[in-house]
C-alpha cells in the first residue's frame, strides 16, 4: 500500500480543527503545518476555558459549600471561576476593557450551564481525549485515517441514554450550528456512537420588558448527517491530492494565496507578521 503524503509529512493524526482550517483558512493551514505557526490565544478563548473549568468543577460537586458575595447589581463577585479566569488572562498578559467585559457574568453562566446539563442526567466523564479513525478511499485503496479530539461532557440519563454535550461560549446566540461545529460533532458521533448536542452559553439581554441582563442558554442537537461525513472524506482526499502535487512549501505558497480582507485569519500580530514574511504583503 502506498504511503500517504499526510503520513509521510507527519500530519497525522488529523483533527476537526485541522479539517476546518484547510476548508476555511487554507493559508493559515499552510503556515501552521509548514511554517510551524503556533495557535494564537485570545481573551475569548480564556473566557471559554474558564467556563468549561467552572462547569466541570461544579458538576463534580466542588462548589457545594460555596457562599456567594453579591454586588449592588446582583452579580456574584467571589466565585472560583473568576479567580481562574483572572489567572488565565494574567498568565497570558491580556489587559484592557474587553478582559473586564468578558469577566462579567461568568459565575452565573457556569450555574446556568450546569442546570441545563443536569437535565441530561449524571456526568460520566469530562474533557476526554478521543482516538479514532475514518475510512477514506483514495485511488481505489481504503485508508484508515487516524483522528484525535477532545470532548467536553459525557452525560447519562437514568434510562441509560448517553449524550456528548459540547459547550460553546458565545457573545451571540446562533440560529444554527456552523458547518465547522457540525463537522466536529459528526466525527465525535462516529467515535463514540453517542448523540451530540451543542450547548451555547452567553451573557446578555434575557428580556426587554422589564430589561433583564443575565446568562443565556441555547441547545442545538446535531444530527448524524451522512453528507457531513462525505464532505469530511472529500476534504481528506483534497488535502492528500494537494500534497501529492507538491510537498515543497515554496511551491505550495504559490498555489495557496491569502485573502487580506479575511479579518478572522489575520487578527493576531504573529499570523499577520508571518503572512508578510511568506507572501510579502
* Average pLDDT for runs of 10 along the chain of length 281: 92 97 96 93 94 96 78 79 96 93 95 97 96 96 97 96 96 93 96 96 89 93 95 98 97 96 86 96 94
Residue 264 is predicted with a pLDDT of: 80
User: Cβ of 247: how many Cβ atoms within 10 Å?
Assistant: 14
213 strand-pairing partners: 205
Cell matching residue 71:
454586588
148 strand-pairing partners: 131
Residue of 278, 277, 275 whose CA lies nearest to 40: 275
Residue 78 is predicted with a pLDDT of: 84
Report CA torsion sign: 20, 23, 27, 32.
positive
Whole-number Å distance between alpha carbons of 84 and 49: 9
Residue 92 is classified by DSSP as: T
Reduced to 3 states (helix: H, G, I; strand: E, B; else coil), residue 76 is strand
Residue 64 is predicted with a pLDDT of: 78
216 strand-pairing partners: 202
pTM of the model as a whole: 0.91
Cell matching residue 148:
484525535
Whole-number Å distance between alpha carbons of 39 and 17: 11
Extended beta strands in the chain, E state: 122-126, 129-138, 141-150, 153-156, 162-169, 195-208, 211-222
Residue 3 is predicted with a pLDDT of: 92
How would DSSP label each residue in 128-157?
Answer: PEEEEEEEEEETTEEEEEEEEEE--EEEE-
Whole-number Å distance between alpha carbons of 281 and 36: 19
Amino acid at each position: 500500500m502506498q504511503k500517504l503524503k499526510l503520513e509521510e509529512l507527519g500530519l497525522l493524526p488529523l483533527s476537526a480543527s485541522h479539517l476546518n482550517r484547510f476548508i476555511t483558512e487554507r493559508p493559515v493551514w499552510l503556515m501552521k503545518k509548514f511554517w510551524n505557526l503556533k495557535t494564537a490565544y485570545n481573551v475569548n478563548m480564556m473566557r471559554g476555558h474558564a467556563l468549561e473549568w467552572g462547569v466541570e468543577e461544579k458538576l463534580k460537586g466542588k462548589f457545594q459549600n460555596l457562599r456567594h458575595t453579591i454586588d449592588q447589581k446582583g452579580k456574584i463577585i467571589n466565585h472560583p471561576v473568576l479567580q481562574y479566569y483572572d489567572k488565565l488572562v494574567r498568565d497570558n498578559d491580556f489587559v484592557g476593557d474587553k478582559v473586564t467585559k468578558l469577566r462579567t457574568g461568568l459565575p452565573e453562566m457556569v450555574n446556568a450551564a450546569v442546570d441545563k446539563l443536569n437535565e441530561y442526567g449524571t456526568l460520566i466523564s469530562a474533557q476526554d481525549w478521543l482516538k479514532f479513525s475514518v475510512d477514506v478511499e483514495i485511488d481505489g485503496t481504503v485508508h484508515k485515517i487516524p483522528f484525535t479530539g477532545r470532548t467536553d461532557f459525557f452525560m447519562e440519563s437514568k434510562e441509560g441514554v448517553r449524550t456528548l454535550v459540547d459547550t460553546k461560549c458565545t457573545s451571540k446566540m446562533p440560529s444554527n450550528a456552523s458547518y465547522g461545529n457540525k463537522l466536529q460533532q459528526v466525527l465525535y458521533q462516529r467515535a463514540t456512537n453517542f448523540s451530540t448536542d451543542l450547548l451555547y452559553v452567553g451573557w446578555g439581554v434575557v428580556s426587554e420588558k422589564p430589561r433583564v441582563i443575565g446568562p443565556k442558554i441555547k441547545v442545538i442537537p446535531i444530527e448524524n448527517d451522512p453528507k457531513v461525513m462525505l464532505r469530511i472524506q472529500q476534504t481528506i482526499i483534497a488535502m492528500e491530492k494537494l500534497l501529492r502535487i507538491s510537498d515543497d512549501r515554496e511551491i505550495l505558497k504559490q498555489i495557496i494565496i491569502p485573502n487580506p480582507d479575511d479579518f478572522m485569519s489575520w487578527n493576531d500580530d504573529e499570523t499577520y507578521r508571518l503572512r508578510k514574511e511568506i507572501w510579502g504583503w
